[in-house]
Chains A and B, each alone.
Chain A
Amino acid sequence: MSSRDLQEETDKLETNSSNKPLKSGNNNDTLGPSSSSQRITESEIDVNDVINSMVDIEGHSGATVIFVGSVRNFGINGKVQRMYYESYAKMAENKIKHIEKMAMEKYGIKKIRIVHRIGELALGNNSVIIALSTPHSDDAFRACKYILAKIKQEVPIWKKEILSKGNEKWVDGKSIKTN
């Protein structure tokens, strides 16, 4: 059986791949998740924009919970200087949409936004945000923890710790859940 590289086509794909996230984010003020809202982005996460998207003037929700994950200065491989995130963008978008749908059904979520940033991030930069609103606060807190756990189990995103003296190490992660 033979196989060979087609380097020219590969180069073309490198610049026009389904694996490449869109550059800019957008807002979404409708109830529930939006199919057009971007979940994976190379851009800085606009926390205020996400919080504002939870505003519900019709009052369906009495509780909004926001989780913001950011780059910490220490990791499993020692002192961290920066963090690099990579994703299989299209699959990651699909997985996050699925998690949103599952969580909405399970916890009665009225509004939800999840955004994960990729690329090279500095210490303190926000890497992920989960925002959701529900009628009652217990459901909102439990839903947020559920979603974060699902992201860690199911969404194809990898991070590499950039350490001192130019050392870099991928973080040993969890085997991706496939069902």
Chain B
Amino acid sequence: MRGEGAFPVRLRFAERGKVRFISHRDAARAFDRAFRIEALPLALSEGFSPRPKVSFGLALSVGHESIAEYMDVRFSEPVDLEALPARLTAALPEGIEVTGVALLADRAPALQESVTAVEWELEVAKIDESEVSAEEISLRIEALFETKSLPVNRIRKGREDIVDIRPALTRMSVIESGSVGIVLTAEIATQPAARPSEVVTVLGEDLRAVRVLRTAQWIERDGNRQEPLIADAARVSEARAS
């Protein structure tokens, strides 16, 4: 992320409500249009077919919500960081909200490679709609952490693999009883990774996730954990609470 007159920015955004049903690619296209609507000075790549220099972090699955999504974008000249979150939010689909921006330091590493852990809030309920208690889920979580391995079937590029997700699970606990089921929080590593749906599966084949919300992403540097907006920032600007 270097270049003359370049102004590299990291954005944090939330994706909540109906808009959670769009894909990661659709969200990228929505940002692309929002930059144009606001006539922001995007830096373009060189070459035969110049493209804006935009890179997204970890993908968010269709149907999952988040309050901790990140993307890096490079402007060709300085922009007003204070005003940026509100300008973009107004140009983005309802439910996507830019909640913070940071001017990136030179030589900031790529988002996708930096994030080491992700936190999720999951609301789980019984598939057969029978009652489930917070105590029961707590016991099941304890049992999970006593196992040595948690194999799950994962289909990648049409091939079925058996993957052990135990090493990815770092922390899990019940928060409260939700409107439908039990709300729990789970921290999952990215190398190796586990999907929220896989976590629900190992918690019990009789359970399904009724709501999945990404609450945080973490970057670990020299033993310290930091939010991506802070980790590589030269200057941070948080959006006013809306």
Task: Decide if A and B are genuine partners.
Answer: no
Q: A residues touching B (Cβ–Cβ < 8 Å)?
A: none
